[in-house]
Amino acid sequence: MSRRVRVVLGDGDRRFLESMVSSGEHKARAIARARVLLMLDEPDGVSPLSRAEIADRCGVSVETVRRVAGQWRDTHDVRAV
């Protein structure tokens, strides 16, 4: 069983993702991944939502949520995800 990835976004990363989602100028897949990252963010060390709830709210699979979290873990670069 894999260990759950903890995502903590910086203020700049959060602003970048929020503007990406709100602008509507990016591909739907990129916007979905940005939404996932925003929902995965645990600034206080506590995630209020399960991976399944995030997947449901973002309209993606649980595997996509895991993949996005893993990509963020590997790069810590929101632009690379």
Q: In Å, how far are 2, 37, 79 from 52, measured between CA atoms?
A: 15, 14, 24
Q: Yes or no: say if 61 and 55 are a contact pair by the CB < 8 Å rule.
A: yes
For residue range 33-60, list pLDDT tens digits in order: 999 999 999 988 777 789 999 999 999 9
pTM value?
0.89
What share of the chain in percent tops pLDDT 90?
72
Question: Residue 2's pLDDT band (boundaries 50, 70, 90)?
Answer: low
CA trace torsion 24, 30, 35, 37 (10° rounding): -140
